[in-house]
Amino acid sequence: MQNKIIEFLKNSKNYISGEEISRNLKMSRAAIWKYMQELRRDGYDIVAVPHLGYRLVSSPDKLFPHEVQSNLDTKVLGKKIVYFDSIHSTMDHAFELGMAGEDEGTVVCAESQTKGKGRLGRSWSSPKGKGIYMSIILRPSLLPSNVAQLTLLAAVATCEAIRKTTSVAAKIKWPNDILINDKKVAGILTELSAEVDRVRFVVVGVGVNVNTALKYLPKQGTSLKNETKKMVSRVELLQEILRLMEQWYQRVNAEGFSPVMKRWKELSSTLGKRIRLIDAGGKIEGKAIDLDRDGGLIIRSDSGIAVKRMSGDIIQVG
Amino acid sequence: MQNKIIEFLKNSKNYISGEEISRNLKMSRAAIWKYMQELRRDGYDIVAVPHLGYRLVSSPDKLFPHEVQSNLDTKVLGKKIVYFDSIHSTMDHAFELGMAGEDEGTVVCAESQTKGKGRLGRSWSSPKGKGIYMSIILRPSLLPSNVAQLTLLAAVATCEAIRKTTSVAAKIKWPNDILINDKKVAGILTELSAEVDRVRFVVVGVGVNVNTALKYLPKQGTSLKNETKKMVSRVELLQEILRLMEQWYQRVNAEGFSPVMKRWKELSSTLGKRIRLIDAGGKIEGKAIDLDRDGGLIIRSDSGIAVKRMSGDIIQVG
């Protein structure tokens, strides 16, 4: 009901009388008053003027499902949003939902995480109300070995969404970091539950440092606010990420993975650069020459031999 | 304590007095009597003769942890066994334990399953006390794309264990069935929880139709009892599977995957045969010519082109 009232207030430029709301939403004036109080507690600035009615002055910068879903226009992604003020980890919660049979497209998001997860068991700084911390459940027809494609897809969508929302030339660093001016502003984490020859579900997590102060971030991290010197609407950015992810996801289902590969390469900050890659097996230095279809990075070492790496951390050298 | 009494009774050929047990295990005669009652209820045939003491005549054919662990001599696999008289699915339970951080090597086994799982969402008939229904938690350093190696490893170990225990020439049908006389006697199911570039844990499930009557089995199924015309000890077979799986697992960690590949090919009923493979993408007919390192089957079609398939069902033709 609150959602309907907010929708109603948003769609009118002027004051609306309680009577009009009452008539349209078929509820008592007393109930409307009660909901207005609740909305104010949630951070909505609603003024009430005698004889004129109610007017919405501003909405809080919260990732409330009805805010994110308002004018979202996606078919699958975000049709259901599970929202928390604080949660241990949106990844873990989405994984549990996936285990319990949750539908494709459901999004778990939170204002803060107490145990935000990064890649390879690392943590993700998640201060309250500053970033986007969200995980999406997908049920693609993929082999486990091809799930890295979804990481690349999510990186493309997130990078494009940041570009569209802030006009900053974000880039993708292999395998799944989004950089602005060579500093990390967002990361993608993909987890899966699978049989050997069948994925049961995938959870794609996106973390973006939106209005995060640098003191909360690791040394090589930055936030959109820090780069643009402006506050960025988390709701609008999250909506854009969901829209673009859905568009790319539909396109992959229709045309295959090549368009994502092509776009990833255009947005890449890694290809063509001289890099050092460190993984469990040791380190290798050379030129990053290509992205393989399975998400692997092709590196040509100084001896001229090209090798592929599926995992690891890279730094640009020379 | 029951385990210690059973161990004690097993290790003596003759009657043992209550006094001797009491002295050795430091418990009262009354406690011993109570435990003997419980063991009898569990199906142990224990005779008690005045002035002579107790003697174990026979043990029940149950997969009690202390039975399976007796003389098991493995380092990791089966060090902890979680046993159920009945459970929905050993796979699902082991997966939940894996999510909660359970150590590598823990085995979940049950006398019966109410929702036994087969490959690709199929069911696995699990009548009480007749088969082996067990799942093992492993935490290998593998990429998700290499987890099929564990399925092949488990198929080799299970096939060898059946051969060793029954002297029947069991074979492996790609990807993960164990056949005797072209009928399915066992299956392997492997599930994983992973990030894109890191496996968190794997659950390898082994289902064997041991003393199962044909009426419980699908048309192309058989049981060890049906093939050998003898009852087969489930405890001994399970022990042998765990021992061989651990040996192969250690060998892979030391020498890499090639020895498993080689042994799998020797035990294969598929390679060299003309087959038809049906998967989500359609069907293909040709000669099964090789196993790829990632577990894929290489098929040479009549046009001479070799293709690889990672998933599907095959039937032998021609």
CA–CA gap between residue B275 and residue B266 (Å, rounded): 18
- Name the band, by pLDDT with cuts 50, 70 and 90, for residue A13: confident
Residue B109 has pLDDT above 90, yes or no: yes
pLDDT of residue A164: 97
Residues 6+ apart with CB under 8 A from A182: A269, A316
Q: How many CA atoms lie within 13 A of A225 on its CB side?
A: 15
Nearest CB to B196 within list A121, A280, A295: A295
pLDDT of residue B44: 93
Give the model confidence (pLDDT) of A170-222 as tens digits. Answer: 999 998 899 999 999 999 999 999 998 889 999 999 999 999 999 999 999 99
Closest CA of chain A from B30, distance in Å: 48
Q: In Å, how far are A6, A39, A272 from A33, measured between CA atoms?
A: 13, 10, 61
Residue B2 has pLDDT above 80, yes or no: no
pLDDT of residue B181: 95
Task: Decide: residue B58, CB within 10 A, 0-12 exposed, 13-18 middle, 19+ buried.
Answer: exposed
- Name the band, by pLDDT with cuts 50, 70 and 90, for residue A287: very high
Q: What is the mean pLDDT of residues B121-145?
A: 93
CA–CA gap between residue A222 and residue A183 (Å, rounded): 6
CA–CA gap between residue B139 and residue A186 (Å, rounded): 29
Residue B36 has pLDDT above 80, yes or no: yes
pLDDT higher at A279 or A172: A172
Whether A204 has its CB under 8 Å from any CB of chain B: the answer is no
Residue B149 has pLDDT above 80, yes or no: yes
Residue B185 has pLDDT above 80, yes or no: yes
Evaluate whether B154 touches B206 at the Cβ level (below 8 Å). yes
Nearest CB to B141 within list A175, A198, A280: A280
Mean pLDDT for all residues in chain B: 93
- Name the band, by pLDDT with cuts 50, 70 and 90, for residue B260: very high
Whether A144 has its CB under 8 Å from any CB of chain B: the answer is yes
Instruction: Report the chain B residue with the minimal C-alpha distance to residue A195.
Output: B191
Whether B308 has its CB under 8 Å from any CB of chain A: the answer is no
Give the model confidence (pLDDT) of B78-90 as tens digits. Answer: 999 999 999 999 9
- Domains defined along chain A, listed by start: 2-58 (1.10.10.10), 65-267 (3.30.930.10), 274-316 (2.30.30.100)
User: Which residues on B lie below 8 Å from A312 (Cβ)?
Assistant: 197
- The span from the first CA to the last CA of chain A, in angstroms, equals 59
Evaluate whether A190 touches A244 at the Cβ level (below 8 Å). no
The phi-psi region of residue B29 (left if phi > 0; otherwise alpha if psi is between -120 and 50; otherwise beta) is: alpha
User: Which residues on A lie below 8 Å from B99 (Cβ)?
Assistant: 95, 99
Give the model confidence (pLDDT) of B204-228 as tens digits. Answer: 999 999 999 999 999 999 999 999 9
Q: How many CA atoms lie within 13 A of A97 on its CB side?
A: 24
CA–CA gap between residue A174 and residue A155 (Å, rounded): 9
- Residue B170's CB is within 10 A of a number of other CB atoms, namely 23
Residue A119 has pLDDT above 90, yes or no: no
Whether B197 has its CB under 8 Å from any CB of chain A: the answer is yes
CA–CA gap between residue A100 and residue A119 (Å, rounded): 24
CA–CA gap between residue B185 and residue B217 (Å, rounded): 9
Scan for tokens 């900053």, then name that residue.
Answer: A168
pLDDT of residue B12: 82
pLDDT of residue B8: 86
Tell which of A92, A195, A291 to mutate to test the B interface (max B CBs under 10 Å).
A195
pLDDT of residue A2: 77
Residue B318 has pLDDT above 90, yes or no: no
pLDDT of residue A302: 86
Evaluate whether A312 touches A277 at the Cβ level (below 8 Å). yes
pTM, two decimal places: 0.86
CA–CA gap between residue B23 and residue B36 (Å, rounded): 16
Whether B100 has its CB under 8 Å from any CB of chain A: the answer is no
| Helix (H), strand (E), coil (C) string for chain B | CHHHHHHHHHCCCCCECHHHHHHHHCCCHHHHHHHHHHHHHCCCEEEEECCCEEEEEECCCCCCHHHHHCCCCCCCCCCCEEEEEEECCHHHHHHHHHHCCCCCCCEEEEEEECCCECHHHCECCCCCCCEEEEEEEECCCCCHHHCHHHHHHHHHHHHHHHHHHHCCCCEEECCCEEEECCEEEEEEEEEEEEECCEEEEEEEEEEEECCCCHHHCCCCECCHHHHHCCCCCHHHHHHHHHHHHHHHHHHHHHHCCHHHHHHHHHHECCCCCEEEEEECCEEEEEEEEEECCCCCEEEEECCCCEEEECCCEEEECC
Closest CA of chain B from A177, distance in Å: 14
Closest CA of chain A from B148, distance in Å: 6
Whether A253 has its CB under 8 Å from any CB of chain B: the answer is no
User: Which residues on B lie below 8 Å from A280 (Cβ)?
Assistant: 141
pLDDT of residue B96: 95
- Name the band, by pLDDT with cuts 50, 70 and 90, for residue A70: confident
CA–CA gap between residue B108 and residue B191 (Å, rounded): 14
Of B118, B69, B88, B96, the C-alpha closest to B221 is B118
Residue A61 has pLDDT above 90, yes or no: no
Closest CA of chain A from B314, distance in Å: 14
CA–CA gap between residue B164 and residue A35 (Å, rounded): 73
**Which of A112-116, A132-136, A276-280, B97-101 comes out lowest in average pLDDT?**
A276-280
pLDDT higher at A154 or B316: A154
CA–CA gap between residue A194 and residue A185 (Å, rounded): 30
Residue B1 has pLDDT above 80, yes or no: no
Residue B247 has pLDDT above 90, yes or no: yes
Give the model confidence (pLDDT) of A80-93 as tens digits. Answer: 999 999 999 999 99
pLDDT higher at B310 or B200: B200
Angle between helices A148-166 and A258-267 (to 10 degrees): 50
Preceding amide of B259 cis, omega within 30: no
pLDDT of residue B310: 86
CB–CB of B195 and A119 under 8 A?
A: yes
Residue A1 has pLDDT above 80, yes or no: no
- The span from the first CA to the last CA of chain B, in angstroms, equals 59
- Residue A254's CB is within 10 A of a number of other CB atoms, namely 8
Tell which of B141, B153, B195 to mutate to test the A interface (max A CBs under 10 Å).
B195
